[in-house]
Structure 1
């Protein structure tokens, strides 16, 4: 794996630094708003704006890259992101922070597209799987590491924003100094919801509900921890444990899905999330048990989207795979934007436990739907299942990192 990722190490360093500098912002903003007595609904609105910006950026940011090139576009997106990060310190206001979160999401989508198209250009059929794995590890490890920047604001409230801006600014250097040629961005087709449902109802419903669950968690997980009485350090550790669990358990669950009916592994994961979420809902005193439950939650929930994407791709011809994967990413992103608002409303009614009760309801409904589909649909033969891949939930461009996509891939609409 190391041999495969060495040619793109500067790009992986850039995404690690980006996530280290920005991955904790949703946690920090939620904690700050919670301390000021802002309602959970408005905190959820701020989180929704980020995912809305990410979704729209996935659709529109590529036009900027096509006009000015990858390096200039990357530097521009990061510069705006750095400026918006510093702007949070000017004034704590829900409308302002909602706007800034939308800008953050749009810029982050642009960064993802730049890096993913670069990785696709450099990858080969033999190295693409390792590069995708390295990309996922760099993304999640950066996000987990960045949680501990929360502790910088004890004496100077603006210090976490300043530290994030510094890291973001430095993230430009690996890309600005890279020798990797800039690729062309081709049109990326996206399947419609109707087409996705026709291919795999379970895959579509599962990806949407997974987005709602994880969007709610990342938007409001810190609010849950704060209301439970956790300190900033404990909150950072809790969030990082969830992310760590997502990294550690994703591959073992993928290994199981390669050897057994993938539908049953998906149903099993949703069922596990249901029981773990219910257990967390009724936690009154934060202790080691909460951290263990958090790791289990991360491990089972983070694997859901890759499992659903792999299940859908098992049922489509190779020439449709990029369009299908791109459509699934957007469906997941739309769910991520919707989830925080609904979860926030439940927290407003039921308190901190409302977050994981919402996640439990989503996972329970998905498990029941999966059981129904398993009874009415036909299982895919074991020899027809493709290998599990850690599909990124970033932008439709990430679909081109699929190891089975030919190196000379050209979208059907452009050939």
Structure 2
């Protein structure tokens, strides 16, 4: 593992700094929006704007990279992102923030595409799994660490926004000064949603619903905390718990995923998520219950994304996986745009604790649909399924495709090894 890290350490350090800045700005939107008197509905539109930009970036960033190269796109998008973070403090209006968030989402998506292309190029078939795992851990640690940095300043001033901008700006130094020659970006054209749904209805519906869950948690969590009167430090802890749960529970879910019917695991995870959200709704005034609810709800959301990817790949030929990965990323993006809008409307109409009710209902829908699909399709033998790799929901198609290829290779190697050990 140390040999693997030695080849990608600069990229990982850069990613941690990027996620520190981006993670700060996500929570700052809710904190500063509350100070400026924005409604839950207005902040929901601002939140969805980011995911609109992110979805667009996932589609168009590879085109830009092919035209002018990794380094130019990476540096340009980084500059725009750094400027956008500071610009949020210059004009505190919902419409201006929405435009800026679309730009920030586009830039972040393009940065992911470029960074993940370099990462994938640095990996071999033997090290790809470890490289991707290290990358996902670096991302999650950056987001969690960002919440700690928020306790060092006041969201009512420009200081924290400037700090986020500085972190993003300096993140590019280790990457651009030490990166190997840039690879050619080849992102497969996404499979149509109709084709994808025919192959795996649960994968499509589940990924769409999960997009709403993830975007609501990461984008509206701080809005919820602000509206119920939580302190800035407590809101930071609340958001950190959402991602800490994902970091802790990823491995157990991965271990179970390769040993049982994935639909049962999806059902179980969704039930746990729904129960956690109902606890947050019913006991949200108790700090310990609130943090436990965040830990469990966030903890099952990220593994569910990887489960849906792995489950969908179980019904595809290896050559179909890249196109399917692009389709699932697009499906997730659509859900991520819709989720905050629905949640914001509910919070504005029924109060801040509707945040938990929307999450609980969405988790419940995932559980019920998984249960329905269990009655419609025979179980795939565990020996015939692809391996699981914990991919974060906000990964670009590059990382998702790489993870899918690695999972298929691992599963094929395991089947060949088992075949060699069979007597006769």
Q: Indicate the TM-score class for this superposition, using the shorter chain for normalisation.
A: over 0.9
Give 3-state SS (helix, strand or coil) of 1:190's partner. coil
Aligned partner of 2:289 in structure 1 is 289
Instruction: Provide the C-alpha distance between the structure 2 equivalents of 1:338 and 1:396, rounded to a whole number of angstroms.
Output: 20
Matches within 5 A, 1:55-204: 55-154=55-154, 157-204=157-204
Superposed displacement of residue 58, structure 1: 0.5
Superposed displacement of residue 155, structure 1: 8.3
Asked if residue 395 in structure 1 is aligned to residue 407 in structure 2, the reply is no
Deviation per residue, 1:78-120 (Å, 9 max, x gap): 1110011111111211111111100000000110000111111
Deviation per residue, 1:344-378 (Å, 9 max, x gap): 01111221111110011111111111111101211
Superposed displacement of residue 153, structure 1: 3.6
Contact between 2:35 and 2:156, CA under 8 Å: does it hold in 1?
no
Instruction: Provide the C-alpha distance between the structure 2 equivalents of 1:356 and 1:39, rounded to a whole number of angstroms.
Output: 17
Instruction: Provide the C-alpha distance between the structure 2 equivalents of 1:309 and 1:284, rounded to a whole number of angstroms.
Output: 32
Superposed displacement of residue 207, structure 1: 0.8
Give 3-state SS (helix, strand or coil) of 2:296's partner. helix
Which is worse superposed, 147-156 or 80-89?
147-156
Superposed displacement of residue 192, structure 1: 1.0
Contact between 1:277 and 1:360, CA under 8 Å: does it hold in 2?
yes
Deviation per residue, 1:31-55 (Å, 9 max, x gap): 2112332211110000000000000
Aligned partner of 1:218 in structure 2 is 218
Aligned partner of 2:323 in structure 1 is 323
Instruction: Provide the C-alpha distance between the structure 2 equivalents of 1:398 and 1:322, rounded to a whole number of angstroms.
Output: 10
Aligned partner of 2:302 in structure 1 is 302
Contact between 1:27 and 1:222, CA under 8 Å: does it hold in 2?
yes
Gaps of 5+ in 1: 407-415
Contact between 2:52 and 2:105, CA under 8 Å: does it hold in 1?
yes
Contact between 2:32 and 2:155, CA under 8 Å: does it hold in 1?
no
Give 3-state SS (helix, strand or coil) of 1:376's partner. coil
Give 3-state SS (helix, strand or coil) of 2:375's partner. helix
Contact between 1:129 and 1:401, CA under 8 Å: does it hold in 2?
no
Contact between 2:48 and 2:336, CA under 8 Å: does it hold in 1?
yes
Superposed displacement of residue 405, structure 1: 6.2
CA gap 1:274/1:176 in 2 versus in 1, 3 angstroms: same
Asked if residue 277 in structure 1 is aligned to residue 280 in structure 2, the reply is no
Superposed displacement of residue 68, structure 1: 2.0
Contact between 1:211 and 1:333, CA under 8 Å: does it hold in 2?
yes
Superposed displacement of residue 268, structure 1: 0.6
Superposed displacement of residue 149, structure 1: 2.8
Instruction: Provide the C-alpha distance between the structure 1 equivalents of 2:18 and 2:155, rounded to a whole number of angstroms.
Output: 25
Superposed displacement of residue 247, structure 1: 0.9
Deviation per residue, 1:8-44 (Å, 9 max, x gap): 1111111111010111212111121123322111100
Contact between 1:270 and 1:364, CA under 8 Å: does it hold in 2?
yes
Superposed displacement of residue 123, structure 1: 1.0
Contact between 1:242 and 1:299, CA under 8 Å: does it hold in 2?
yes
CA gap 1:400/1:181 in 2 versus in 1, 3 angstroms: farther
Kindly report structure 1 stretches of 4+ aligned residues shifted beyond 4 Å.
Answer: none
Contact between 1:14 and 1:172, CA under 8 Å: does it hold in 2?
yes
Superposed displacement of residue 261, structure 1: 0.6
CA gap 1:39/1:155 in 2 versus in 1, 3 angstroms: closer
Give 3-state SS (helix, strand or coil) of 1:303's partner. helix
Contact between 2:16 and 2:141, CA under 8 Å: does it hold in 1?
yes
Aligned partner of 1:369 in structure 2 is 369
Give 3-state SS (helix, strand or coil) of 2:258's partner. helix
Structure 2 length as normaliser, TM-score?
0.93
Give 3-state SS (helix, strand or coil) of 1:312's partner. helix
Aligned partner of 2:22 in structure 1 is 22
Superposed displacement of residue 2, structure 1: 2.8
Superposed displacement of residue 184, structure 1: 0.8
Deviation per residue, 1:123-174 (Å, 9 max, x gap): 1111000011011101111011112232344287000011111111101101
Count of matched residue pairs: 407
Instruction: Provide the C-alpha distance between the structure 1 equivalents of 2:155 and 2:45, rounded to a whole number of angstroms.
Output: 28
Gaps of 5+ in 2: 410-424
Aligned partner of 1:38 in structure 2 is 38
Give 3-state SS (helix, strand or coil) of 1:38's partner. coil
